[in-house]
């Protein structure tokens, strides 16, 4: 997995680059102090994932997220910042990032966070039930529009249910007796169908359009 690190605190950024570089199957191909430097790098290089700080000069994390989504939709975004977990969920839903890692949490967990990003497509560092409940609060404020005309197939609903239990693509594929590739395709379709930028968005969609209940989700 090719990773970029963007944070304006030089010492912290370098330490992160060293640490992440020591993980297996991971290569740090870029580190920079703001979003603009990252975008310049991306003109001629590709990455799979970016560890992105929010508060930065020139081009902050929020602005960078918007541009990445429009121009490099395949790049996964893991926000690295200092907000508390509650705030961070609201922030992630606003940004449409796929994950959040707080600078205060144990860096040991960063390796599993990266693994979860590549296997599940998201990471929140806390129980998914908590994330979803907090996301429902966020959704009330954001007043997102849900078209109830989009019907999810039973397979898609199953993927949502299993995904929110924290199962990875391979595990879901095993349970449903299909190939991991199919799961991945289905999941991508699910996101575009529900017009969501991250998995939690798709979960919210299913809940809001009453195609799934919270009880069933936690069942």
Binding site for another protein (CB under 8 A): 8-9, 11-12, 14-16, 18-19, 22, 55, 82, 103-104, 107-108
We find the least distance from the C-beta atom of residue 53 to another protein, in angstroms, to be 9
Q: Please give the Cα distance from 165 to 33 (Å, whole number).
A: 35
- Per-residue DSSP letters for 15-81? HHHHHHHTSTT-EEEEEESSHHHHHHHHTT---SEEEE-SS-SSS-HHHHHHHHHHH-TTSEEEEEE
We find the least distance from the C-beta atom of residue 20 to another protein, in angstroms, to be 9
We find the least distance from the C-beta atom of residue 109 to another protein, in angstroms, to be 11
Nearest to another protein of 59, 191 (CB atom): 59
Q: Please give the Cα distance from 205 to 156 (Å, whole number).
A: 12
We find the least distance from the C-beta atom of residue 94 to another protein, in angstroms, to be 20
Token representation of residue 182: 């199919």
Nearest to another protein of 78, 183 (CB atom): 78
Nearest to another protein of 16, 167 (CB atom): 16
Nearest to another protein of 11, 143 (CB atom): 11
Q: Please give the Cα distance from 198 to 97 (Å, whole number).
A: 7
């Amino acid at each position: 997995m090719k990773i970029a690190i963007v944070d304006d605190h030089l010492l912290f950024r370098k330490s992160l680059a060293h640490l992440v570089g020591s993980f297996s199957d991971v290569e740090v191909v870029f580190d920079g102090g703001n979003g603009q430097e990252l975008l310049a790098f991306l003109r001629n290089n590709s990455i799979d994932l970016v560890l992105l700080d929010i508060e930065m000069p020139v081009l902050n994390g929020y602005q960078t997220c918007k541009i990445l989504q429009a121009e490099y939709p395949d790049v996964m975004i893991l926000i690295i910042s200092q907000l508390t977990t509650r705030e961070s969920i609201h922030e992630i839903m606003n940004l449409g990032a796929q994950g959040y890692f707080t600078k205060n949490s144990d860096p040991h967990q960063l390796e599993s966070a990266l693994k979860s990003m590549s296997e599940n497509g998201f990471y929140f560092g806390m129980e998914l039930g908590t994330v979803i409940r907090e996301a429902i609060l966020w959704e009330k404020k954001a007043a997102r529009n849900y078209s109830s005309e989009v019907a999810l197939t039973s397979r898609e609903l199953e993927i949502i249910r299993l995904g929110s239990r924290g199962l990875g693509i391979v595990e879901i594929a095993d349970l449903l007796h299909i190939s991991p590739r199919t799961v991945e395709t289905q999941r991508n379709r699910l996101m575009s169908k529900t017009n969501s930028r991250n998995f939690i968005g798709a979960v919210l969609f299913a809940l809001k359009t009453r195609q799934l209940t919270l009880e069933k989700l936690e069942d």
